[in-house]
Amino acid sequence: MRQNNRKQNKTLVIIITAVAATGGLLFGFDTGVISGAKPFFRDFWSLTDKQIEWITTAGLFGAIFGAAFSGRITDILGRKIVIIASAVIFAIGALWTGWAGSPSSLFVGRLFIGIAIGISSYSVPMYIAEIAPTKQRGALVSAFQLLITIGIFVSYLSDLAFAEESNLESWRPMFLIGVVPAMILLIGMFFLPETPRFLIGKGNEAKGRKILERLEDPDLVEESINKMKEEIALASQSAHSWREILQPWLRTALFIGVGIMFIQQFIGINTVIYYCPEIFENAGFESKVAQIAASVSVGVVNVLFTVISMMIIDKIGRRKLYFLGVTGNVIALIALAISFAFRDSLGSSMKWVTVSLVLLYIVFFAISLGPLGWLIISEIYPLKVRGVGMSIGALSNWGFNAVVTFTFLTFLRILSPTGAFLVYAGVGVLGLIWGYYFIPETKGHTLEHIEEHWRQGKKPKEL
Ligand code: BGC
C-alpha cells in the first residue's frame, strides 16, 4: 500500500516539475534566441552597432527589473500566480518581438520578455524546491537548469532552421516560436497546486497538508508541517523580509547566495553562450555555417552534462561537485589562454584545439556551477526570507551577467583573448578559495535544518 503511494507521489512530483521547469526552457530559449536573430534584424533595418547593443542588452535589463520586483510579490500572491503571470508576459513578448515594426518596438518587446525571464529565474526554482520531497530536491531543482540548457540548445537549432540567407525577415519566426512553450507553461500551471509552504504560511493548513501528503515521503509529512509552522510563527514577528535578510544570523546565507552567482557569471560562461560564433571565428572558422554548427555542439554538450549532473548531485553532494567543476573550468580557461597566445604557431589545428577546450569548459560548467548556482539559492534561506533571498540571488545573477556580457568585447580588444580568459581563470581560482569556506553541503538536509544551522551561528562548511 505504502509502496503504491510512493510510486504515485513520484509521478506527480515529476509532472509538476516538468511543467514548472518549462519556465526554465523559456528562460534559456529567450536568452539564446537573440544570437542567431541579430544578424538578420541588423541588416533588415540597417542598424548601427549601438542600436544592436541596446536591443541585445534589453533582455538583460528586463531580467534585472523582473528579478528585483518579484520577490515580495511571490511572498504576497503566491508562487503559482506569479509563474502564470510570467507565462503571459513570455507569450505576449514572443508575439510582440516577432511582429515588431521598428527597432524601438523590438527593444521594448525584448525588455518585456526580459521581465518574464527575470521573474521565472527565481520563482520557478522556488516553486520546485518547495514542492519537492526532501530526498529528490537536488535533482528536481536541477531540472530547472536542464531546461535552461535545453532552451538555449533549442534556440540555437531553431535559429539555424529559420535562417534563410536571402530572407532578411528570418528573425521574425525565430522570436514567434517562443509562444509555444509559453502557452504550455500557462495552461500547465492552471492545473498545478500552490506550494504547501506558501499555503500553510497563509493560514490554509488543511489545503497545504493535503498537497503535502500527495508529495512528501509519508514519514516526513508531520515533521515538515511542524517545522513550517515554527518558521511561520517566527516570520510573523518580522514583517519586513528585506530588513530581516540583513540580520547578522542570515548574512552568511546572503553572502553565499550572491557569492555563488558572482563566481558562476564571472567565470565567463555567457561569453561562450552568447559569443561562441565570435570565439570560433577568432579561432579560424571562416564560414558562418561552420561557426553556428560549432555553437550547436556547445548546446548539445551543455544539455548532456547537465543531465549527468542531475544524476549525481544528490549522491556526490554540492561541495565535491563545486570543486571538481570550478577546477576543470580554471584548467580549460588557462589552456584556452595559452592556445590563443600560440595561435600563429598552431596554424589550422587552432580551430580544433579551441573547439575542444570550449567544450571541455562547458562540460565542467554544466556538471557544476550551472545547476549549483540555482540550487544553492533555493536551499539556503528560511521560508520567511526565501522569496527575497532568491530574488536577490537571481538579481545578482542578471547584474553580474550584464557586466560580463557588456565588457567581453572590450576585454577582447584591450586584453586580447589570452588576457580575457586569464581574467576569468583568476576568478575561478578565487572561487576555489571562497568555496572552501562558504559552499555548504546541503545534500540530504531538510530546508528547516539548514535554517537551524544558521541560527546557531555555525559555519557553512560545518553543515
Ligand atoms: C546561468 C546562465 C547561463 C546558463 C548556461 C545558467 O545557470 O545562470 O547565465 O547562460 O547557465 O547553461
DSSP codes of every residue in 166-191: T-TTTHHHHHHTTHHHHHHHHHHHHT
Can you tell me the distance from the alpha carbon of 129 to that of 138, in angstroms, rounded to the nearest whole number? 8
CA 203 to ligand 1 center in whole angstroms: 36
- What the block records as the C-alpha cell of 234 is 517566527
Kindly list the distances between the CA atom of residue 168 and the CA atoms of 45, 97, 433, in Å, as whole numbers in the listed order: 9, 15, 49
User: Collapsing DSSP states into helix, strand and coil, what is residue 441?
Assistant: coil
CA 126 to ligand 1 center in whole angstroms: 17
Closest of 397, 374, 377, 396 to residue 385, by C-alpha = 377
Equal CATH topology for 1-192 and 244-463 = yes
Categorize the per-residue pLDDT at 146 as very low, low, confident or very high, splitting at 50, 70 and 90: confident
Residue nearest to atom 6 of ligand 1 (CA): 370
CB-based contact 66:118 (threshold 8 Å): yes
pLDDT of residue 46: 94
* 244-463, CATH topology level: Growth Hormone; Chain: A; (1.20.1250)
pLDDT of residue 310: 85
CA 372 to ligand 1 center in whole angstroms: 11
Categorize the per-residue pLDDT at 2 as very low, low, confident or very high, splitting at 50, 70 and 90: very low
Q: Where are the domains of the chain?
A: 1-192, 244-463
- What the block records as the C-alpha cell of 32 is 539564446
- Chain centroid to CA 215: 25
Q: Is 145 a pocket residue for ligand 1 (Cβ < 6 Å)?
A: yes
pLDDT at 290 over 80: no
pLDDT of residue 259: 97
Span 127-143, average pLDDT? 76
Span 380-397, average pLDDT? 84
Q: Is 378 a pocket residue for ligand 1 (Cβ < 6 Å)?
A: no
Instruction: Kindly report, residue by residue over 66-83, the tens digit of the pLDDT.
Output: 888 777 788 889 999 999
Q: Is the dihedral of CA 309, 315, 318, 319 positive or negative?
A: negative
pLDDT at 383 over 60: yes
Span 236-252, average pLDDT? 75
Closest of 426, 427, 442, 429 to residue 320, by C-alpha = 442
Q: Is 309 a pocket residue for ligand 1 (Cβ < 6 Å)?
A: no
- Of 163 and 322, the structure prediction assigns the larger pLDDT to 322
Rounded to the nearest 10 degrees, the angle between the axes of helix 288-316 and helix 2-45 is 160
Q: Is 252 a pocket residue for ligand 1 (Cβ < 6 Å)?
A: no
Categorize the per-residue pLDDT at 129 as very low, low, confident or very high, splitting at 50, 70 and 90: confident
Residue nearest to atom 12 of ligand 1 (CA): 149
Neighbours of 213 (CB within 10 A): 14
pLDDT of residue 235: 60
Categorize the per-residue pLDDT at 295 as very low, low, confident or very high, splitting at 50, 70 and 90: confident
pLDDT of residue 447: 77
CA 311 to ligand 1 center in whole angstroms: 19
Span 306-316, average pLDDT? 89
pLDDT at 6 over 70: no
Instruction: Kindly report, residue by residue over 188-225, the tens digit of the pLDDT.
Output: 998 889 998 889 888 888 999 888 888 887 788 888 88
Instruction: Kindly report, residue by residue over 250-275, the tens digit of the pLDDT.
Output: 899 999 999 999 999 999 998 888 77
Ligand 1 pocket test: which of 156, 269, 395 has the largest number of ligand atoms within 8 Å of its C-beta?
A: 269
pTM (2 d.p.): 0.82
- What the block records as the C-alpha cell of 80 is 503559482
> At residue 16, what is the residue type?
I
CA 370 to ligand 1 center in whole angstroms: 6
Instruction: Kindly report, residue by residue over 348-362, the tens digit of the pLDDT.
Output: 888 899 999 999 999
- CATH tag, 1-192: 1.20.1250.20
In sequence order, what are the residues at sequence separation of 6 or more whose Cβ sits closer than 8 angstroms to the Cβ of residue 371? Answer: 141, 142, 145, 146, 306, 309, 310, 313
pLDDT of residue 215: 82
Instruction: Kindly report, residue by residue over 43-66, the tens digit of the pLDDT.
Output: 899 988 778 778 888 898 899 988
pLDDT at 103 over 70: yes
Burial class (CB in 10 A: 0-12, 13-18, 19+), 433: exposed
Q: Is 373 a pocket residue for ligand 1 (Cβ < 6 Å)?
A: yes
pLDDT at 378 over 90: no
> At residue 252, what is the residue type?
T
